[in-house]
Structure 1
């Protein structure tokens, strides 16, 4: 089952960029997702789609690549990389046209072949620095 769970999580992370409908297939109706960049938990497949949309609207050609996965029981840990060109507003930041690369880790819990809970930690600071919303440490030091 661990291999099957890894594939479900991989599909949710990678395939959703081409077909957000996979959220309806793979995410449980009682899903709760936690992301420190968000003020409230993400709830259900529609909440996951809404959260996804803010990034897919802001980054042209956006995609995630799963780099590593470890599964045990009903849990899957995933290390991933996201890429895209910043062509739409995100978190109040106007489009910059810059290519961004971020890395993250998710811990996902599944039940009956569906994702029910997920903790996501990713390099939000790095993304905001790459789009110029906040200065990088190097830029701050040269002032």
Structure 2
């Protein structure tokens, strides 16, 4: 295997470890070994401490959350991950009290990796769908306006 393919496979393994061991396995202390000090996240979070705070907020709001990885695609210094998140909204999340609603979210993230650590992440996920599923915002215009569907 040439060096480029080896690096891509190593980078994919790093992202897989992030989801399977750190998030699903709740080994958040291991994040320090995966996230670079100069990491920049999708919402502006910086470094491993702020990355961890984001993960902890999800784990607090959705204590049993599991991420199912569907795809890991690597090229050069990037790894794209496509996942589904399933959980019950059993804790406070972004100031919203637990609804006990079952939640499913799909997302896509592109990670940039340098020197064996994640330095950047770009995330596209259905945040509105999650807020609708936990009852924080109406699911439809009719629901929002108090109208009954025809």
TM-score by length of 2: 0.86
Question: Cα RMSD between the aligned structures?
Answer: 1.5
Encode CA deviations 1:29-69: one digit per residue, 9 max, x unaligned: 1111113xxxxx01101011111111101112112111112
Aligned pairs for 1:1-143 (under 5 A) are: 1-17=7-23, 18-35=26-43, 41-137=44-140, 140=143, 142=148
Structure 2 unaligned regions, length at least 5? 1-6
Higher CA-based Rg: 2
Distance 1:124 1:43 in 2: 21
Greater RCO (Cα-Cα under 8 Å, separation 6 or more): 1
**Distance 1:92-1:28 versus aligned 2 partners, 3 A rule:** same
Moved over 3 A (4+): none
How far did residue 13 of structure 1 move? 2.5
Cα deviation, residue 86, structure 1: 0.7
Cα offset, 1:138, TM superposition: 7.4
Per-residue deviation at 1:139? Answer: 5.8
Q: TM-score, normalised by structure 1?
A: 0.90
